[in-house]
Amino acid sequence: MSDEDESRALPVRDLEERIRPGAERGANLLTTDELVLIEHMLALDDDAALLHTRLSGRQPRAFRWPELSLPGVVDRERALAKLIDAGLASEDVDWETRLDEATGDVLAAGCKRLGLRSSGAVGVLRERLAEQVDWDDARWVRLPHKALVRRLEQWATLDAFPDRSTPVLERLGIRKAVAYARTGGAAISPTRKAWDAWEALVDDWEELTVATALRVLTWPAWPPGRLDLRRAVAERLMLTAREHEREGALDEALKLVDGLIARGAGGVDAALRAALLREKKGDLAGAHAVLVAAEPSTVGPDRLALHRTGRRIARKVGRAWPPDAPLIEPVSRTLALTRVAVAGARPRYAAGDGHAHVEEAVSARIQAAGRRVISAEGLLWHTVIGLLLADLMFLPVEGQLPVPRLVAPLDWATPSFAARRAGAVWALLDGLRAGEARARMVDAWARYEGCAIAGVSWDVAPMEDVIVAVEGLGAEALVALVSAWLREGRAARAGLPDLCVLPGEPVHVEGLTPTRLGSGTLLVEVKGETDTLRDGQRVWIDRMGQAGAAIEVWWVG
């Protein structure tokens, strides 16, 4: 960075760091006029650049100039004149926009100016001034190209809703990005028309119609990273289908989930819902056919759910259904805790001098007996997975790290992640089997500590406790943990055990039956008084148990 760049105000530098790479990433989508505007943005002097930065980051479509707060801008009039000359600001603000953006005090003054009643709520004042002009004599200012700035930031971050606080948090030491070699990548969008359609989708997100949602799922090319909104669109459609179902509109609900399945969206949830809707309508053969078609591609807890429904419907239609592989029945214990009457959705239990939710209360009881325990549910194991796979995440795989500050490559949590890094994956798994877990964790912690990495929570527990948990899990169980994530991605997240009791001297835990806690590492799934084991929990109990880890279910009563 040049001395001149270093002298720029920090907010200006932060924005320019996005404008430049955004323009590079989306160069094929920019018009000649937009390229000129970008040149003007980057050529602004300090005051004008800071004014442009301040206004482009704010939500209002227009600003009432006299009451505008502009920290750091020395000569606001000169700065505004510079922006107007460069075509980056305008004082041409229509009265409808002023009406929408004005405060209640300004609206009341406007009514008084025209001889109208000036009392009432903001909405009432706006109604009185609707269709009126000249109710305010102050200057108003707008940035006609705020959408271009937002577009450049989206391209620079591959995020539909970029967070401008990121560089500030980095300077404060609150956030640290991994330094990696950028790997290029495909264009943001094949054509400007396709990008404009994406922008229209985002702008109208709250009013997204079913027809539009189904249509966009068939788009041949989506932008990369978090600009790809297919999962979010599918979730919206599933919610709409459930609403139709609750209202008794089964045909409408079924049309939606069938539309999702036809477009390869919705996953096992769509298949199950399509089958259950057909069952409600009396079409058992159709329900069976949907489940048979979905069965080969389902894994993990999704497979349990689909098989459970499949067996039941298969019996009704007199068809066979393949049996589930038997799952390990977990060792179970009961733990007596005192429930405390506290307002809230989740029950709370006595814990020391206070009270806590069930997992924290169980953890406190174990620690009172003299054993260390990590109470983090999935956070501990997501952190272990993230650290063990961190080097693989930031390998220079073509097209997967196209912009800075990503917490993971674009193919993270998908089947292609392992396929693209097969050699490194096999080397990692072989190393874990050979007992290299401690060395790999210590090395990863030293090199990446504090960095924003997908899944990693640096405050989940002290490093040594995390490493003790990893070693206590055992090599085969650790391999099973990592392999399930590589194979199933996001589907593997649900159901990881609540507690990890670290090794130590055998102890007796008050209220626990059987009461004695052995010396080894123990994974514990905690279940409250009205809980049942969910599919994800049953799968992880089986995986860890099959791999030799000690894992139990503790029922609180």
Q: Which of 305, 217, 228, 304 is closest to 265 using CA atoms?
A: 217
Give yes or no on whether 192-317 and 327-375+497-557 have one common fold: no
Residue 331 structure tokens: 């060792």
Peptide bond into 514 cis (omega under 30): yes
User: Left if phi > 0, otherwise alpha if psi is -120 to 50, otherwise beta: which for 370?
Assistant: left
Question: pTM of the entire structure?
Answer: 0.87
For 392-419, give the DSSP string. HHTS--TTS--STT-SS-TTTTSHHHHH
Give me the sheet containing 354-356, strands edge to edge: 339-340, 348-351, 354-356
For 439-458, give the DSSP string. HHHHHHHHHHTTB--TT--T
On whether the CB atoms of residues 460 and 383 are closer than 8 A, the answer is yes
Number of H helices, E strands in the chain: 26, 13
Please give the Cα distance from 310 to 321 (Å, whole number). Answer: 7
On whether the CB atoms of residues 539 and 301 are closer than 8 A, the answer is yes
On whether the CB atoms of residues 366 and 547 are closer than 8 A, the answer is no
Please give the Cα distance from 536 to 479 (Å, whole number). Answer: 18
For 272-340, give the DSSP string. HHHHHHHHHTT-HHHHHHHHHHHGGG--HHHHHHHHHHHHHHHHHHT---PPPPPPPPPEEEEE---EE
DSSP class of 369? T
Instruction: Looking at the structure, give the CATH architecture of the domain made up of residues 192-317.
Output: Alpha Horseshoe (1.25)
SS3 176: strand
3-class SS letters over 15-31: HHHHHHHHHHHCHHHCC
Residue 484 structure tokens: 């399930």
Class of domain 327-375+497-557: alpha beta
On whether the CB atoms of residues 237 and 266 are closer than 8 A, the answer is yes
- How many Cβ atoms are within 10 Å of 324's Cβ, its own excluded? 12
Residue 292 structure tokens: 């048979």
**Is the four-CA dihedral 277, 278, 279, 281 of positive or negative sign?**
positive
Q: Which of 142, 223, 238, 216 is closest to 188 using CA atoms?
A: 223
Residue 269 structure tokens: 């949830």
Residue the block writes with tokens 């650290």? 387
Q: How far from the centroid of its chain's Cα atoms is residue 505's Cα?
A: 40
Amino acid at 486: L
Residue 513 structure tokens: 């039956």
> Domain extents for the chain?
3-160, 192-317, 327-375+497-557, 378-493
Could you tell me which residues come within 8 angstroms of residue 235 by beta carbon, excluding any fewer than 6 positions away? none
Full pLDDT tens readout for the chain, 557 residues: 444 556 678 889 888 989 999 999 999 999 999 999 999 999 999 899 999 999 998 999 999 999 999 999 999 999 999 999 999 999 999 999 999 999 999 999 999 999 999 999 999 999 999 999 999 999 999 999 999 999 999 999 999 999 888 888 888 888 999 999 999 887 899 999 999 999 999 999 999 999 999 999 999 999 999 999 999 999 999 999 999 999 999 999 999 999 999 999 999 999 999 999 999 999 999 999 999 999 998 888 899 999 999 999 999 999 999 888 889 999 999 999 998 877 677 888 988 888 888 999 999 999 999 999 998 778 999 999 999 999 999 999 999 999 999 999 999 999 899 999 999 999 999 999 999 999 999 999 999 999 999 999 999 999 999 999 999 999 999 999 999 999 998 888 889 999 999 999 999 999 999 999 999 999 999 998 788 999 999 999 999 999 999 999 999 98
Residue the block writes with tokens 């937002």? 150
Could you tell me which residues come within 8 angstroms of residue 320 by beta carbon, excluding any fewer than 6 positions away? 314
